[in-house]
């Protein structure tokens, strides 16, 4: 089993690529954001620590964490944001590390793909076999974010400024998939990469 990290800037089309990989390989896909949401549920390992930091006022009537209220609190206070990140990021990484170990033991898949915007920043290079960078031209990303998510230029600027530069991604990721063009183009690149892996196994 090969563990592959999938990273790239906002609007790069990572979800689209993961969908294709899910259909064309024997794999498991883990998305860090979804893991975080699971761990923030009442039975999750992050729930009590988050509530102890932010207070019960961030809870819904059903006792779940209200993500909009939490976001409003932490993004307005850098210290709180750091505290919550120190709770959530290590827990997500621990969950993913445990998942990798279980899948290696089960030996039932060829790939385990891990997707997160902060894979490089959070040290995932140490636990994956290979890191893929999904490159998409900035203007294409901006157009996608305006069209698909309705983001304003100001919001797009704010998000992009908080992410790694193109140079950082390229320096740290040996595999680059260019998703600036057509779907056929990006799928061809993926097929070629998967074919290389198959040849290496033989």
User: Which CATH code of 3.40.50.1950, 3.40.50.2300, 3.40.50.300, 2.60.120.260 fits the domain covering 34-106?
Assistant: 3.40.50.300
Element (H, E) at 3: strand 2-7
Nearest to 168 by CA among 141, 131, 140, 143: 131
26-30, 91-95, 151-155: lowest mean pLDDT where?
Answer: 151-155
- The percent of residues above 90 in pLDDT, for the chain, comes to 77
The pTM of this model reads 0.89
Same fold, 1-26+109-194 and 34-106: yes
Nearest to 9 by CA among 176, 191, 129, 201: 176
Q: Domain 1-26+109-194 is of which CATH architecture? A: 3-Layer(aba) Sandwich (3.40)
Q: How far is CA 131 from CA 5, 63, 71, 108, 175, in A?
A: 5, 38, 29, 21, 6
pLDDT in tens, 115-162: 987 899 999 999 999 999 999 999 999 998 998 899 998 888 888 888
> Structural domain boundaries of the chain?
1-26+109-194, 34-106
**C-alpha–C-alpha distance, residues 22 and 93, integer Å:** 21
Q: Going by DSSP bridges, is the β-strand pair 27-31/111-115 parallel, antiparallel, or unpaired?
A: parallel
pLDDT of residue 201: 63
pLDDT in tens, 168-179: 999 999 999 999
């Amino acid at each position: 089993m090969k563990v592959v990290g999938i990273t790239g800037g906002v609007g790069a089309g990572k979800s689209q690529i993961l969908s294709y990989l899910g259909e064309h390989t024997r794999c498991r896909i883990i998305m860090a954001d979804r893991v975080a949401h699971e761990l923030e549920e009442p039975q999750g390992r992050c729930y009590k620590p988050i509530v102890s930091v932010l207070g019960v006022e961030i809870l819904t009537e059903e006792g779940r964490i209200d993500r909009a209220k939490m976001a409003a609190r932490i993004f307005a206070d850098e210290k709180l944001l750091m505290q919550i990140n120190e709770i959530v990021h290590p827990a997500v990484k621990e969950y993913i590390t445990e998942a990798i170990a279980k899948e290696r033991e089960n030996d039932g898949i060829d790939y385990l793909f891990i997707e997160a915007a902060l894979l490089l920043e959070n040290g995932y290079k140490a636990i994956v076999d290979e890191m893929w960078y999904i490159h998409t031209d900035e203007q294409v990303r901006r157009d996608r974010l305006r069209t698909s998510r309705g983001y304003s230029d100001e919001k797009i600027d704010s998000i992009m400024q908080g992410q790694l530069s193109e140079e950082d991604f390229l320096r740290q990721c040996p595999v680059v998939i260019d998703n600036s063009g057509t779907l056929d183009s990006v799928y061809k690149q993926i097929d070629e990469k998967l074919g290389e892996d198959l040849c290496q196994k033989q």
